[in-house]
Amino acid sequence: MRMPPEMQTTLYRPNRPDLKPRIAIIDDEVDICAMLSEFLRMLGYETEPFTDGRRALERIQNRQFDFDLVYTDIYMPGLTGIDILKAIIALDQNIPVILMTGQPTLEDAVSAVRLGAYDFLTKPFNLDLVELIASRALERRRLVLENIEYRNYLEQKVEEQTREIKDFLIHSIESLSLALEAKDPYTKGHGARVSNFVLTLARELSLPSEYNESLRIAGLLHDIGKIGIPDSILLKPDTLTLEEYEIMKTHSETGYKILAPIGSLAEISIFVHEHHERVDGKGYPQGLKGDEIALPSRLLIVAEVCDALATERCYKPAWPASQIITYFRDNRGKAYDKEVTDALLSLLARSGEQILNILRGTIQATFSNP
């Protein structure tokens, strides 16, 4: 497998440039520990001998040294090789462990493999076998780490490309939304204002930040379905007839149908679909009630209506703060979610005129929690 140039790094320990595998040798018999350590060092490996199993395990667990392979005797006082094997597997199952013993039994060998040991060596050592097992174990670790690194690389690339595709789609749809606003001067900037204001409501309610991006985009695109409404209805300065109003109401469904097929916008499409629902069930297009409406949708509903009331439209003048406050108080728990309405009223009580002036475009600013 050919690695991309940008990820051709050290596969054992990326923070070390020498590429030499480091091997821990753990055996309470000093001579055996020293002999095995020296032999492996002659083969070109870095070694760290330990005659105390607890000290070795503490070093490994504290990651003072990153070991690529561990040889450990099974029968040692205090801490056995089996104990060390279990602890290493819990720490990093990609570190191969080779168990050693001078009292070999078939049960020991089977048990070692079942517990996750890479291999099993008997004393006295066959040094050719020691070299072969070390080589195979380290090659296996190299391949495992290379695969992990390559998988992470691919995941990163997929994430980057997914983000680029999502951004492209959003920008394309935003362009449609701007085209819609360009032919309707009364709604120009409405999407951007709702997008900013719904995030202010979210902060006021301490909504988890994981919703922020979806809310921001939903605010921008909530009226995208109006692209399918005839100009004769969309731009009509007079009161709509019942038939015309029914056509106008289809924009929520149309917006949902535009966004829902796009996987990365599936959640956003739900908020767009629900932005004209009411908690009393008298909204459209689905007639949802209360908690049947997603919480982010309930924020979007209030932010959208507040902006519509605060700004001049072809069918009404801009409302003053007092009238908006009265309207939302009267409809708290009826048309609009109680907690979201309370958050809006709290914001308006603290900085109502500033908020309304931002919505009306008389001052250039971004929303924040006053």
* Domain positions in the chain: 5-155, 184-360
Q: Which of 121, 131, 16 is nearest to 67 (CA)?
A: 16
**CB atoms < 10 A from the CB of 51, how many?**
17
Query: 11 or 153: whose pLDDT is higher?
Result: 153
Residue identified by tokens 């469904």 is 253
pLDDT tens-digit series, residues 87-129: 998 888 889 999 998 876 767 677 777 888 898 888 888 899 9
**CB atoms < 10 A from the CB of 62, how many?**
8
Compute the distance between CA of residue 139 and CA of residue 285 in angstroms, rounded to an integer.
61
Options 3.40.190.10, 3.40.50.2300, 3.40.980.10, 3.20.20.60; CATH of 5-155: 3.40.50.2300
**CB atoms < 10 A from the CB of 215, how many?**
23
Domain 184-360 has CATH 1.10.3210.10: yes
pTM for the whole structure: 0.59
Q: Where are the alpha helices (DSSP H) in the chain?
A: 30-42, 53-61, 81-91, 106-115, 127-183, 190-204, 212-221, 231-234, 242-249, 251-259, 266-273, 295-310, 321-331, 338-360
pLDDT tens-digit series, residues 145-174: 888 888 888 888 888 888 888 788 778 877
Question: Is-contact 181 190, C-beta < 8 A?
Answer: yes
Write the CB contacts of 303 (distance below 8 Å, at least 6 apart in sequence). 194, 197, 198, 201, 219
pLDDT tens-digit series, residues 271-320: 999 999 999 999 999 999 999 999 999 999 999 999 999 988 767 788 98
Q: Which two tokens stand for residue 325?
A: 């406050």
